[in-house]
Amino acid sequence: MNIPFFGDLPSDVLVAWIFSVILGIIVSIFIIKKKKLPVIWEYIRTTNHRKIGTMYILFGVLFFIRAGIDALFIRTQLALPNNEFWVFQYEKYNEVFTTHGTMMIFFAAMPLLLGLMNVVIPLQIGARDLAFPFLNAVGFWLFLAGAIFFNLAFFFNTTPDVGWTGYAPLSTSEYTPGPSTDYYVFGVQISGLGTIFTALNLIVTIVRHRAPGMKLTRMPLFSWAALITSFLILIAFTVLAIGLYLLMFDRLFGTGFFSGDEGSPVFWQHLFWIFGHPEVYILALPAFGMFSDIIPTFAKKRIFGYPAMVISLALIGFLGFTVWSHHMFTVGLGPMANTFFAITTMLIAVPTGIKVFNWLFTIRGGVLRMTVPMLFSLGFIPSFVMGGVTGVMLSVSAADFQFHDSHFVVAHFHYVILASTILGIFAGLYYWYPKITGYMLDEKLGKWHFWLFLIGYHLTFFPMHISGLQGMPRRVYTYGADEGLTTLNFLSTIGAFLMGVSMLFVVWNLYKTHTKKEKVGNDPWNGRTLEWTVASPSPEHTFDPMPVVKEMDPFWYAKQENRELETTTKTRAAPIAINTIIPILMAFSLFVVAVGLTFTWYWLAIAGGVLLFSLFIIRSLTDERKDHYGKGVETNE
């Protein structure tokens, strides 16, 4: 379809424009009618951890739905052999799986996890906020700027189509000229920067802002997982940042790191997977942490083998950096390298197995309550183990030559990531929803969501093991009718739509919960850790007076012994909360830089840079610490 200014637009892009404009109008009318503008203005300037966490979750869910719709397009296209669904063949299919992968990893899973950490970690360890509230806001807005930048590509019909791994030389300007891949490079770069800042912030918070008596050995496991994950982020995302930095030079400034007769495409693969493999654990460890907090609560039992749980988290984190080349078994690194990476990969199954057994032993002999968060946790264990088993199969490098780039791999990584990260996020959202909003999500609808999602998930991905073994390659948009793949693919498609339907129950649940408006108390789940001692939703000023922690699960044992938690008014200096517009402007200026570089309008990139530096200076001159630091001696008296 030819549209003035935009040129030839395919019908899916046109539909997206129409849909977005209509949705935008409806949302705007709603905001103005309900007089929500002041609320939005408040959230734009906030530095409070719960509010920032809420925004992370809100946009994470939004992008999750968008990437989920992409998944439905993929499955519809693959439902039948030689199918021609709408426009999703050839390049369009490449675009849709690239978008699905990139969005799910960077703009759905990451923000949902960071959002939950933002809300929960300070409450769990007795901190009044993250150590650097301003930086926290910067991190969030950088994520959003990157995500919006990436999403824009679709609306201008220049969606990246190089896969979420962006393999060179396909991702260099020789093979993907034009702006499409730049949207990937800068979108991921900007949001990755935000992730690094948030990780730094979480580490300082957990190390320095714990309540008195909250030793590391008494800390809830979700906080432990967040701490270890943050270290992984620091290393992994930094390497990714440099990989993208080099790719940017290759694309824009005529270097040849990853292509040509001097460059090395394999170097990109190394850089990407040194990020990419730890990223898998960055996604999984927080989920492990959440399950480790949720299962004891609903089994009414202390976690089994707490030290082993912590050590295995750390071991998984460490080993996560020694396995990246198992994504590259077929590259030809030689038998020595392949053997090394095969063995390290198999080793990871050991600490992971320890965790699985500890969860099972926590459940054993417990008094179980089958609430929605608990159901998700119980659904996670067997599903994740299945993904783990195929992981060990894939680690056998000789066998991997058969599995590589087939639907078997697709089945494996969806099994592990959905079981851990996505089921973990759902469990966490149902569990901490009262802390975020003050309302409980409806249990009955939650159970519908759980069962439909779990059944849909297995129905989608289990057949892929078989279709993969029968030779169905990933990233190919169709297959022949005579290849014996039709039934398996059709089952997968039914499963995907079941998951889609289950998400409708989430929407219904949200609507119901927020129209009923039934406030709950501090401790709706009969919880064990400190976050259940503060009001729901958590107020801006928490822990006054500050609880003194004498053991693990302090709140639980206080309730058991019918006593109040001991408190103190002697606390360390709290982080300084402010309202500021600067973080969103900083993210905006980087957005402008990205636009300038993508379209090689260098004047615009420079303007964005100047804006960013001006904001640094303004920030430096209006430091909130000025009003809090000693009024005594001043410079230049």
Partner 1 sequence: MNDYEIALFKDKQMGFFIYLGVEAIMFATLFATYFIFTPAVKGPHPSDIFEWKSLLLSSFFLLSSSGTLILAEKGFTQGDKRKFLIGLGLTFIFALVFLGLEFSEFYRYVQEGYGISANTFLSAFYVLVGLHAAHVLFGACWMIVLFILYRKKTSTALYTEKLKIFSYYWHFVDVIWIFIIVLVYVPYLM
Residue among 145, 190, 241, 546 that touches partner 1 (CB under 8 A): 241
Residue among 76, 173, 255, 522 that touches partner 1 (CB under 8 A): 255
The identity of residue 118, as a single letter, is N
Q: How far is the CB of 473 from partner 1 (least distance, A)?
A: 31
Span of 25-33, 159-167, 386-394, 629-637 interacting with partner 1 by CB under 8 A: 629-637
Instruction: Please give the residues from 324 up to 383 whose contact with partner 1 meets the rule CB under 8 A.
Output: none
Q: How far is the CB of 165 from partner 1 (least distance, A)?
A: 18
State phi, psi for 576 to the nearest 5 degrees: -90, 120
Contact between 207 and partner 1 (CB under 8 A)? yes
Angle made by CA atoms 497, 501, 505, in degrees to the nearest 5? 165
Contact between 269 and partner 1 (CB under 8 A)? no
Alpha helix stretches (DSSP H) within 364-442 = 372-395, 397-403, 407-417, 423-437
Q: Distance of CA 364 to CAs 296, 304, 382, 529, 611, Å?
A: 11, 10, 15, 21, 58
Query: What distance in Å separates the CA atoms of residue 521 and residue 533, rounded to the nearest whole number?
Result: 10
Q: What letter would DSSP give residue 539?
A: P
Query: What distance in Å separates the CA atoms of residue 202 and residue 635, rounded to the nearest whole number?
Result: 33
Span of 104-112, 164-172, 416-424, 628-636 interacting with partner 1 by CB under 8 A: 628-636
Number of residues that bind partner 1 (CB under 8 A): 53
Residue among 40, 216, 242, 581 that touches partner 1 (CB under 8 A): 242
Instruction: Please give the residues from 208 up to 227 whose contact with partner 1 meets the rule CB under 8 A.
Output: 208-209
Residue among 256, 265, 305, 484 that touches partner 1 (CB under 8 A): 256
Q: How far is the CB of 254 from partner 1 (least distance, A)?
A: 4
Residue among 196, 214, 283, 454 that touches partner 1 (CB under 8 A): 196
Alpha helix stretches (DSSP H) within 260-371 = 265-299, 306-319, 335-363
Span of 9-17, 202-210, 218-226, 526-534 interacting with partner 1 by CB under 8 A: 202-210
Q: What b/e string do you get for 316-338 counting C-beta neighbours within 10 Å, with b at 16 or more?
A: bbbbbbbbbbbbbbeeebeeeeb
User: Hey, what are 474's tokens?
Assistant: 């990933």
Residue among 44, 204, 469, 510 that touches partner 1 (CB under 8 A): 204
Q: Say if residues 446 and 503 touch (Cβ distance below 8 Å).
A: no
Residue among 30, 245, 357, 602 that touches partner 1 (CB under 8 A): 245
Instruction: Please give the residues from 540 up to 559 whose contact with partner 1 meets the rule CB under 8 A.
Output: none
Query: What distance in Å separates the CA atoms of residue 520 and residue 531, rounded to the nearest whole number?
Result: 14
Q: Say if residues 489 and 479 touch (Cβ distance below 8 Å).
A: yes
Q: How far is the CB of 230 from partner 1 (least distance, A)?
A: 9
Residue among 34, 38, 573, 603 that touches partner 1 (CB under 8 A): 573
Contact between 621 and partner 1 (CB under 8 A)? yes
Give the count of alpha carbons within 13 A of 626, CB side only: 8
Torsion region of 50: left, alpha or beta (phi above 0 gives left; psi -120 to 50 gives alpha): alpha
Query: What distance in Å separates the CA atoms of residue 136 and residue 104, rounded to the nearest whole number?
Result: 22
Q: How far is the CB of 632 from partner 1 (least distance, A)?
A: 7
Residue closer to partner 1 by CB (options 89, 571) is 571
Contact between 261 and partner 1 (CB under 8 A)? yes
Torsion region of 498: left, alpha or beta (phi above 0 gives left; psi -120 to 50 gives alpha): alpha
Among 637, 372, 613, smallest CA distance to 509 is for 372
Q: How far is the CB of 497 from partner 1 (least distance, A)?
A: 43
Span of 96-104, 329-337, 358-366, 572-580 interacting with partner 1 by CB under 8 A: 572-580
Instruction: Please give the residues from 114 up to 173 whose contact with partner 1 meets the rule CB under 8 A.
Output: 131-132, 135
Q: Distance of CA 9 to CAs 94, 170, 180, 352, 496, Å?
A: 17, 24, 15, 48, 28
Residue closer to partner 1 by CB (options 17, 267) is 267
Q: How far is the CB of 249 from partner 1 (least distance, A)?
A: 6
Contact between 490 and partner 1 (CB under 8 A)? no
Q: How far is the CB of 438 from partner 1 (least distance, A)?
A: 30
546-547 and 567-568 beta bridge pairing:
antiparallel
Q: Say if residues 540 and 48 touch (Cβ distance below 8 Å).
A: yes
Contact between 629 and partner 1 (CB under 8 A)? yes
- Binding region for partner 1 (CB under 8 A): 131-132, 135, 196, 200-201, 203-204, 207-209, 234-235, 238-239, 241-243, 245-246, 249, 253-257, 261-264, 267, 271, 572-573, 575-576, 613, 616-617, 620-621, 623, 625-626, 628-636
